[in-house]
Structure 1
Amino acid sequence: MRPVDLAREHALSTQAVRNYEDLGALPRAERTDTGYRRYTDLHAQALKTFLALRAGYGHQPAIDLMRSANRNDRTALYTRLDELHAASLHERRTHAEVTSVLESLGSTPLPRHPSEPVTVGQLAHRLGIHPATLRQWENAGIIQPPRDHTTGYRTYGSTDIRDAHLALYLRKADISVQQIATFVRELRQAGNTDRMLTLLTDWSTRLSARSRSAVNGIAHLDHYLTELEHARSGRS
């Protein structure tokens, strides 16, 4: 097969197919006397596997997995898979934590007055972040700590503490600071978390779709590994 034959089947450019080979997603192709690549059924299966893995894990992870498979480095392959699955589990747990926090906030009225105010250092320590992060969130409008009239230092009351915790969990979900600021502003105005709960529903849908794609990718990878074993043992 020529590069164009593989490219047409998957609506790719011939250059993309060559690039995937150069990156290690496809085994090295033999060359004709004139220097043209010659692909086989094994290369076709490799491309299908890479594209399936990319849908489930992302571009670079799919490259990593295919490169390890093609190098017959099973330790690296399975280690990378474990890392990817651990990251997915972490994201699911983060989603559950954020959902729990928002559901709790939704049933709790906003405090009218701060109680037991803390300093920037104390709050940063409590959250496990750098004080500069709290100042970034303040600049974005996520938190609005008043200044102590005597010392001039920021003081964080219950509302700011709550919103800082909320920001921390949402940032773990890779939600932008700008989005978080919008959600917190709406929370203050409306007194509920409906908009953010909608966001979490969308996030859950994306997680499920990605996991299903990952299952499909693993099925392709299993078949491809078998084909590689046959090719290396000289069987058809």
Structure 2
Amino acid sequence: MGPQPSSPEFRVGVVGGRLRSVDLARVAGVSTQQIRNYEDAGVLPRAERSPAGYRWFTERHRRALGTFYEVRKGFGAPVAQAIMRAVHDDDLPEALNLVSASHAALHEQRLNLKSVGEALELIARQDRAAPALPRTELRIGEVAAHLGVRPSALRVWESAGLLTPQRVPGSKYRTYRPADVRDARMISMLRQARYPLPHIRPILDGLRERGSSDALRAAVAERLAALTRRATAMLAGASHLHRYVTGQGAGPVTGD
């Protein structure tokens, strides 16, 4: 947390309501070079120049910096920078488009996680009812018969990168081990539930990485909680942005 606007440090160097780079940097707790970088990137509006070429900043720049830091918490630095640049280019529609796009992307992530959660419940029920395998290694026809699908379906899933069966050395024959059959069973079940192949890939990857549906379920819950925190931060950032573009001020400046 940098010095507050009422502090002696903030008042040093102020002439006629203007701030030097070092004054604004001190408030934000960043370097003077970072302040220059922010101006060049459009995070700050263009500063006035003294006859000697020095930058003079105003209360508007302090509010812009505070707004950027608040927007950045929810939207991330690149998007927050683009939003502020659009505002300072007098392109409010573009700034609002960036805000809307970020909310839409967050919503899409929520829908995907919900889809994964529903798939996990289907998988759990499928696993409990799965019949035992006759052997530890099966050929493609045997797997197809075991799952009640066509061999061509297994080939399509392999082409999509969802299955990686072993190949018998010196031949083109595929062999499926228990883990391969488990994956094929999950794909078959998810396809029956009308899951597109691209949506199945992250579910399989998550199960392989986490080792069990329970572990993946916990990871999904954790990710959903993180998205909720981010959505809350985005809401707060948008509120600060609204106050800035309507001239209602911004909160204290907190730097990097």
Q: TM-score range by the shorter chain?
A: 0.7 to 0.9
Give the aligned residue type for 1:7.
A
Gaps of 5+ in 2: 1-18, 134-142, 249-256
Give the aligned residue type for 1:160.
A
Which residue number corresponds to residue 78 of structure 1?
96
Q: In 2 relative to 1, CA 18–86 (structure 1 residues): closer, same or farther, beyond 3 Å? A: same
CA distance in 1 between counterparts of 2:49 and 2:104 reads: 40
Q: Percent identity?
A: 27
Q: Are 1:222 and 2:242 an aligned pair? A: yes
Q: CA RMSD in A?
A: 3.3
Higher relative contact order (CA 8 A, sep 6+): 2
Structure 1 residue 153: Cα displacement: 4.9
Deviations 1:36-67 (A, max 9, x none): 21111101111111111111111111111111
TM-score, with normalisation over the residues of structure 2? 0.68
Q: Are 1:19 and 2:24 an aligned pair? A: no
Give the aligned residue type for 1:38.
W
Deviations 1:82-109 (A, max 9, x none): 2111111101111111111122223332
Give the aligned residue type for 1:218.
A
CA distance in 1 between counterparts of 2:101 and 2:24 reads: 30
> Is the contact between residue 94 and residue 172 of structure 1 (CA under 8 Å) also seen in structure 2?
no
Q: In 2 relative to 1, CA 151–213 (structure 1 residues): closer, same or farther, beyond 3 Å? A: same
> Is the contact between residue 72 and residue 79 of structure 2 (CA under 8 Å) also seen in structure 1?
yes
Give the aligned residue type for 1:208.
T
Structure 1 residue 227: Cα displacement: 2.1
Query: Residue 66 of structure 1 is aligned with which of 81, 84, 88?
Result: 84
Greater CA radius of gyration, 1 or 2?
Answer: 2
Q: Are 1:49 and 2:67 an aligned pair? A: yes
Gaps of 5+ in 1: 125-130, 138-142, 188-192, 229-236
Which residue number corresponds to residue 208 of structure 2?
181
CA distance in 2 between counterparts of 1:71 and 1:18 reads: 17
Which residue number corresponds to residue 252 of structure 2?
none
Q: Which portions of structure 1, spanning 4 or more consecutive aligned residues, are displaced by more than 3 angstroms? A: 110-114, 117-121, 146-151, 153-158, 163-173
> Is the contact between residue 187 and residue 200 of structure 2 (CA under 8 Å) also seen in structure 1?
no
CA distance in 1 between counterparts of 2:243 and 2:88 reads: 13
Query: Residue 210 of structure 1 is aligned with which of 216, 219, 230?
Result: 230
Q: In 2 relative to 1, CA 146–118 (structure 1 residues): closer, same or farther, beyond 3 Å? A: farther
Which residue number corresponds to residue 157 of structure 2?
123
CA distance in 1 between counterparts of 2:185 and 2:84 reads: 45
Aligned residue pairs, count? 204
CA distance in 2 between counterparts of 1:172 and 1:24 reads: 37
Structure 1 residue 8: Cα displacement: 2.6
Q: In 2 relative to 1, CA 161–65 (structure 1 residues): closer, same or farther, beyond 3 Å? A: farther
Q: Are 1:152 and 2:173 an aligned pair? A: yes
Q: In 2 relative to 1, CA 161–48 (structure 1 residues): closer, same or farther, beyond 3 Å? A: farther
Q: In 2 relative to 1, CA 171–83 (structure 1 residues): closer, same or farther, beyond 3 Å? A: farther
Deviations 1:3-33 (A, max 9, x none): 2222233322222221111111110011122
Query: Residue 54 of structure 2 is aligned with which of 13, 27, 36?
Result: 36
